[in-house]
Chains A and B, each alone.
Chain A
Amino acid sequence: MTEQQMITIINDALVEEFELDADEMQPELSIYDDLGLDSLDTVDMVIVLEGAFKFKIREEAEIKEIRTLGDIHEFVKRKLAAEVN
């Protein structure tokens, strides 16, 4: 999977499951201030990512550090790289 494919999977899943605007999915945007998620959505976001990539997310501390869409991309990238190794 290329990085672009990965980003597309993440963005598409979030757009669908959180009813976001596909044109707004810029990596520098805050998922909370700009995309309108709140702390209640954190678990749902984890479930969406687990469903999209068929992995289990146990990195609670890292999830809590996520602020921007780009942070999500980086998190998934690290997860996928760790799985390959």
Chain B
Amino acid sequence: MYDALVVGSGVSGLTNALLLAQAGQRVAVVERAQQCAPLLRGFERWGIQFDTGFHYAGALADGEGLQRFFNLLGLDRHVEIEPMRSSGFDRIITAAGFSYDFPVGGDEIVRSLSDKFPRERSAIRRFIDDTLQVSDHLPYINPTTPIDQLSAFDRAHDVSLTDYLAALTTNPMLRRLLSLHCLLHGIAPERVPFRFHASVIGPYFRSASTIVGGGLALANAFERCLNEAGVDLICDAEVEQILLSSNEGVEGVELSDGTVIHSQTVISTIHPHYTLNCLPDRVFRPIYRKRLSSLDESMSACVLFARCRQPLEVLRGRNLYLLSASATSPPIQQQHQQYGRGSVDEKLLYVTSANAASGSDCGGFMVIAPTTAAQFSQWCQSRLGQRPDSYNMYKQRISAQMIGQLEQSQPELIAAMDRCQLATPLTLRDYMFSPDGALYGVQHQVDQYPLQAITRIKGLYLSGQALIAPGVMGAMISGFSTCGTILGHDRLVGELKQCHQTIQ
């Protein structure tokens, strides 16, 4: 019998587990993969450690919000933070030869971007100020921010990024440039609420960091902290049902092998669709079921994983955002019109480095090209390792196209590359258990009311990126937010303030 059971061992699940264990609760985490945090962990191939869940983050510098989370959970003892290039952590290059390096610091961005767009200085200042106004005051990330400052109504009725930018500037290139970071949440500029976009993007403007050893190092740090805190990690265990007592409170979970684990508190951090599938039909009202089951997915992507003969200087402490002349895969007009969604810039290639696994002196990189699962719908019935030839041929075509685009802009990457392999939205779907191969799970869009941690079922709580935001930061905030609901927000905020003082 546990005080609390956490379903899913991603960053939000592990954050929930550590916070509850630190509060003295007996906690178990149930994970269907063989090891915890599979997405964060990434994978090794050809001597290269490829990250799939974490590439870089804001708010990790000393005294910042995410660093404070790491400190409170004990993760900071096991990971080393590495700042990216402060003069330019994101380099934007267009096919027409325009280039811009995003530096760290609001004033620095205003100064350098105004050099590129001299007539747009006030628009740029406004964008940076509005963005930082949101991201500097995120709940938990900033312990002085009141927890219930923003109501569900405020969050649902924000303007889209597109509408915000349209009111800001008529310069199409500047609008496009300021929309490129939509890649970091996977929601089209037409759909993403400005405040949500700012909450994800703003922290990078204050500081941009990586973790030495990448997501794997963070996953290992979590595992050590779980051990230290006495949390039971139950892997290779798929939750089939969330069990309810006769008065419809939570009683525990039943695994697919029939094992029952008892607890009167269950925190589900898995995709809301899958949470619904674990419950009897009648426990939620029809409207709430519809809300959970009709959430749209964030963008998917084709991802090229490549090894090169040596580490590449151009990618050290820096990501590339390459704007090609043409899209990697033809846009699916019909689908976009159908849902009125728009898409993340389809002519964008995002390039980031991969670390050599220990003992290797090679380098590696990943190229992410936004796309939709619909592009691959004719093969959607096929599974990993059993795809038809036509799929493999299509994959080859896309690989060749991505390599061609990359070669035009960054020939040295292709010259150094000796191995590569493409993952498609179907690969991502089957690998991440994410419907449609969404990179970031469900999308947060304008006119959509946020989900709450608390549910009608006594003892059942929701957590995870679907409630707050994607990325390590969004997932960790959702952990604090759900545990705040259980343990009391004031208590957690108080602990963070203590960290605040210690760090400063």
Contact = CB atoms under 8 A, between A and B. Distances in A.
A80 interface: no
B456 A40 contact: yes
A60 B287 contact: no
Contact of B157 (A16, A47, A58): A58
A43 B285 contact: no
Interface string A30-41: 000000001011
A47 B287 CA distance: 8
Contacts of B151: 60
Interface string B122-155: 0000000000000000000000000000011100
A56 B447 contact: yes
A43 B152 contact: yes
Interface in A18-72: 18-19, 38, 40-41, 43-44, 46-48, 56-58, 60, 63
| Centre residue among B151, B285, B454 by max chain A CB count within 10 A | B285
B454 A40 contact: yes
Contacts of A48: 287
Contacts of B455: 40
Nearest to B450: A43
A17 interface: yes
Contacts of A57: 153
A41 B447 CA distance: 17
A41 B449 CA distance: 12
A38 B153 CA distance: 17
B314 to A, nearest CB: 47
Contacts of A47: 287, 291, 449
A43 B123 CA distance: 35
Interface string B273-289: 00000000000011110
Nearest to A40: B456
Contacts of B454: 40
Contact of B286 (A19, A38, A43, A58): A19
Contacts of A18: 285-287
Nearest to B447: A56
Interface in B421-480: 447, 449, 452, 454-456
A27 to B, nearest CB: 21
Contacts of B449: 43, 46-47
A52 to B, nearest CB: 11
Interface string A5-22: 000000000001111000
A2 B290 CA distance: 29
B291 A56 contact: no
B191 to A, nearest CB: 16
A59 B137 CA distance: 25
Nearest to A48: B287
A1 B371 CA distance: 44
A38 B286 CA distance: 15
Contacts of A60: 151, 153
A47 B294 CA distance: 13
- Of A16, A47, A48, A57, most B-chain CB atoms within 10 Å: A47
Interface string B146-182: 0000011100010000000000000000000000000
B291 A41 contact: no
B284 to A, nearest CB: 10
A18 B291 CA distance: 13
Contacts of B152: 43
B153 A17 contact: no
Given A43-B152, A60-B151, A17 B447 contact: no
A14 B252 CA distance: 32
Contacts of A40: 452, 454-456
Given A38-B456, A40-B452, A60-B153, 20 more contacts: A16-B286, A17-B285, A17-B286, A17-B290, A18-B286, A18-B287, A19-B285, A19-B286, A40-B454, A41-B285, A44-B287, A44-B291, A46-B449, A47-B449, A56-B157, A56-B447, A57-B153, A58-B153, A58-B157, A63-B153
Interface of A: 16-19, 38, 40-41, 43-44, 46-48, 56-58, 60, 63
9 contacts: A16-B286, A17-B286, A17-B290, A40-B456, A47-B291, A47-B449, A56-B157, A58-B153, A63-B153
Shortest 5 CB-CB contacts between residues of A and residues of B? A17-B287, A60-B153, A44-B287, A43-B449, A17-B286
